[in-house]
Structure formats: C-alpha cells, structure tokens
Amino acid sequence: MTTVTIPKHLTGKDLILVPKKEYEALERRAKFAPPLNYKTVKMTKAQKRELESARKDYAKGDFVTLDVLKRDLEGRNSR
C-alpha cells in the first residue's frame, strides 16, 4: 500500500486523485482551450474574402514555409 502525504497548505481544499496518464491527457487538451478572458472579434467582409482566398491558395499548395521565408529574408538582408 502506498502512503500519500498531503502538505498543510493543501489541507481543507478539494483534492482529486487522477492517474498520471489521464492527467497528462488533460494537460494536452488544456493547451488547446481558449483562455477565460478570450474575446472574439467579428471579421469584416474584406477580411473574410482574404481568409477564403488564403484557404484556396493553401489548398492548391501555393504557400511559403517559414524556413523558405526566413532564408529569403536573410538573403535579402545580407546584400
């Protein structure tokens, strides 16, 4: 049998015992949850058009990776 010692600063609070794998899964899921003070902003029609255009370009494979962009910018700055 395993003995668990609870620190005094945690006594009197609600505690839950969770298996480590479940806790790690909850941590991973929590990274994708929006923060509590998360605000949504409505897009303008122009922004929606730009987003749709960008999605179509991406679907066609017409995009630049960050590595390529970085290399291109470094090349321009070294001249």
User: In the chain, which residues have pLDDT < 50?
Assistant: none
- Give the Å distances, CA to CA, from 62 to 5, 67, 75: 58, 15, 21
End-to-end CA distance of the chain: 69
DSSP letter string, the chain: -------GGGTTS------HHHHHHHHHHHTTSPPTT----PPPHHHHHHHHHHHHHHHHT----HHHHHHHHHHHHT-
Average of per-residue pLDDT values in the chain: 88
Give pLDDT, residue 3.
Answer: 85
Give pLDDT, residue 79.
Answer: 66
Give pLDDT, residue 2.
Answer: 82
